[in-house]
Amino acid sequence: MRLRSIVVLAVGFAAAVSSAAWAEPTEITVRVLSKDAKFIGTSMGGMRITLRDAETGEILASGLTEGGTGDTKRLMHENGGRRAVMSDVSAARFQATVDLDAPRLVEVEAYGPLAQRQAAQRVVATQWVIPGRGITGGDGWVLELPGFAVDVLSPPAHVKFDGATTVDVRANVVMMCGCTIDPKGLWDADKYEVQAIVRRDGKPVARVPLKYAGQTSQFAAAVPATEPGMYEILVYAYDPANGNTGLDRTTFIVAKK
């Protein structure tokens, strides 16, 4: 029993060392924008921010926003100080009427996009609502949904290759609203980083850039698969300009020759 415990500890230590060797310091900046106004900073006591792993609940970091309210001219219009209304009658919305007999602190949750479940994100916000005083003016209650909708098209999950040196990976990448990505387009493919993180039997083995594949929103590359084993491919899209990130994954098997 004692020997078994020592073996378990040794395996756990080796796994931790292997994981740490691939760990990278990753900076995350969070700002909170006051609706129709400026950033919330030190003058208002800051905002408490908690970063959690959404799958495990592990708290990664916590703290307060600090600093000023930002550049007024950059944030607000000169004619009246207000930001432009972003929506019109064609803009998607959810509308509801609720009966209130007293002020309520209402929480709104948005989850989606539902047609791309692998890319879905959850955003939560709260706001005081007064009976008879609706939240319909301007853009209404605005939440910001981060991410790209990344959809790995090939290879399909759990496909088996009887000996291979490379496997072609192709992914479709669009904005969360479904807006397409093209070189030199409004959403410029040349400005995004799309890569495949390759793992074999749970261990990272490579990172491979995916290039624009000549078809709107599609990116492709050949990833190394020279050794037999179970491969996991994590394809992510990243915008260096603002940190926006999306991810999808697939698996395949390379059999022994």
Report the domain count for the chain: 3
Q: What is the pLDDT of residues 193-237, one digit of tens each?
A: 999 999 999 999 999 999 999 999 999 999 999 999 999 999 999
pTM attached to this predicted model: 0.85
Burial letters 49-61, b for 16+ CB under 10 A, else e: eeeeeeeeeeeee
Same domain, 214 and 234: yes
Range of the domain at 219: 148-254
Same domain, 31 and 57: yes
Distance, CA of 17 to CA of 20 (rounded, Å): 5
Distance, CA of 79 to CA of 114 (rounded, Å): 39
Q: What is the pLDDT of residues 116-164, one digit of tens each?
A: 999 999 999 999 999 999 999 999 999 999 999 999 999 999 999 987 7
- Residue for token pair 């969070």: 30
What type of residue sits at position 139?
Answer: D
Same domain, 109 and 55: no
Same domain, 127 and 186: no
Same domain, 214 and 157: yes
